[in-house]
């Protein structure tokens, strides 16, 4: 190995086979760093045995997988510097050491690339794991335009020079790994997927992933966007109703269009401000993002008005009900374009 390879393993209430995994990791030539994420005294013996093969760092209380990874990364940065290759592995036995070696070799040959161990999800895979990955893969593709087959993989390799960037990624629990992919997509960091074996031990009962709570953390951005859009919709809908009353004396088409345009101008200004500062946290040029948003808003407004007019005049749907239908139809279209065009830049990945 030309560079030092380091295996970083966050562990919370691990199974008894953790020391055996670490022994295999050490025999393969890795330095191993394990972060005990507040497992407690009941797991003291496991981590004592683990310490024969790895450096064990300890959180007094559980802080989450993301924070455990950051603790390990900070230690690696301070101890080994930039001239190393790091691979993160899960403590539940899902990853083979041979696959970790493959990822590290590729990383060493292609510096500056985030390498992902991509599972095939073939054979007997727990339903929640298969379903969860399908959903996050779809959301990630819509959000970034990037096709990543396994967005939830914990087997990831990267050069030591990436550590400062990784320490800046938001999130302290399971959302951290998704945020990593989102942030790297924004900043055009190249990513590569290498196929690895899919391993689940005892139906993945060792996983501490909380389907409801941790999924909400992972989908935080789209939930924030939904809330922003809903508030914008309330503003838009209220003004739309008021303007319909005020323009009731005009021809129907004129009343619909004036009301829709007037309400949308106010709600769009609100929506831009919230999305830029809260949802996407865009710190780039206001002029550039505002111009893009304006062009997007005008385009959506034209489509919105066309759909609204068609629903009311040709299908006979009441104006207020037609407004709701139109907004729902355009919701995901707006989210995708705001993330991919207004508040970010693109990136591509390869799969092999």
- By C-alpha distance, which of 73, 213, 279, 81 is closest to 157? 73
Q: Does residue 63 share a domain with residue 181?
A: yes
Number of structural domains the chain divides into? 2
pLDDT on residue 225: 59
Residue after which a domain boundary falls, among 163, 186, 218:
218
Token pair of 18 as six digits: 């953790």
Domain that holds residue 57: 4-218
Residue 41 domain-assigned (yes or no): yes
Domain edge (last residue) among 197, 218, 239: 218
> Does 259 lie in the same domain as 188?
no
Dist CA 188 CA 114 (whole Å): 11
Portion of the chain with pLDDT greater than 90, in percent: 43
On whether both 145 and 118 belong to a single domain, the answer is yes
Mean pLDDT, residues 183-196 taken together: 89
- Chain CA centroid to CA 98, Å: 27
Least confident span in 4-13, 96-105, 242-251, 321-330:
321-330
pLDDT at 131: 59
Identify which has the larger pLDDT, 303 or 144. Answer: 303
Q: How confident is the model at residue 324 (pLDDT cuts 50, 70, 90)?
A: confident
In a domain, 155, yes or no: yes
Q: Are 228 and 279 in contact (CB under 8 A)?
A: yes
Residue 351 lies in a domain: no
| Residue 350 forms part of a structural domain | no
Whether residue 206 is found in the same domain as residue 227: no
What was the pLDDT predicted at 113? 96
215 band by pLDDT with thresholds 50, 70 and 90: low
Regarding pTM above 0.95, the answer is no
- The strand order across the sheet containing 349-351 reads 55-59, 31-37, 4-11, 84-88, 156-159, 114-119, 191-196, 349-351
pLDDT, residue 65, reads 93
Same domain, 186 and 249: no
Residue 349's pLDDT is 45
Say whether both 193 and 302 belong to one domain: no
Output the pLDDT for position 123.
Answer: 55
| 73, part of any domain | yes
* Whether residue 199 is found in the same domain as residue 305: no
204 and 244 together in one domain: no
Domain boundary among 218, 253, 270: 218
């Amino acid at each position: 190995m030309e560079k030092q390879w380091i295996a970083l393993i966050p562990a919370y209430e691990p199974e008894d086979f953790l020391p055996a995994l670490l022994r295999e990791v050490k025999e393969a030539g890795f330095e191993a760093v394990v972060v005990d994420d507040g497992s407690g005294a009941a797991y003291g013996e496991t981590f004592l045995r683990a310490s024969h093969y790895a450096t064990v760092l300890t959180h007094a209380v559980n802080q989450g997988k993301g924070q455990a990874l950051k603790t390990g990364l900070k230690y690696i940065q301070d101890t080994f510097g930039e001239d190393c290759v790091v691979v993160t592995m899960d403590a539940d036995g899902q990853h083979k050491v041979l696959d970790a070696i493959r990822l590290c070799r590729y990383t060493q040959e292609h510096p500056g690339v985030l390498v992902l161990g991509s599972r095939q999800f073939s054979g007997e895979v727990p339903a929640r794991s298969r379903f969860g990955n399908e959903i996050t893969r779809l959301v990630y593709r819509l959000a970034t335009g990037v096709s990543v087959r396994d967005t939830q993989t914990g087997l990831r390799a990267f050069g030591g020079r990436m550590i400062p960037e990784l320490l800046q990624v938001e999130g302290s629990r399971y959302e951290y790994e998704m945020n990593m992919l989102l942030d790297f997509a924004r900043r055009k960091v190249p990513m590569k997927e290498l196929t690895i074996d899919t391993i689940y031990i005892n139906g993945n009962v060792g996983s501490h992933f909380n389907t409801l709570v941790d999924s909400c953390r992972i989908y935080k951005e789209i939930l924030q966007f939904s809330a922003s859009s809903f508030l914008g919709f309330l503003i838009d809908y209220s003004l739309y109703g008021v303007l319909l009353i005020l323009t009731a004396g005009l021809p129907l088409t004129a009343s619909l269009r004036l009301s829709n345009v007037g309400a949308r101008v106010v709600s769009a200004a609100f929506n831009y401000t919230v999305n830029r500062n809260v949802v996407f946290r865009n710190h780039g040029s206001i002029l550039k993002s505002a111009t893009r948003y304006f062009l997007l808003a005008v385009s959506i407004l034209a489509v919105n008005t066309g759909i609204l007019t068609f629903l009311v005049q040709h299908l006979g749907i009441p104006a207020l009900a037609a407004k709701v239908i139109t907004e729902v139809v355009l919701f995901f279209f707006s989210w995708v374009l705001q993330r991919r065009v207004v508040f970010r830049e693109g990136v591509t990945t390869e799969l092999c």
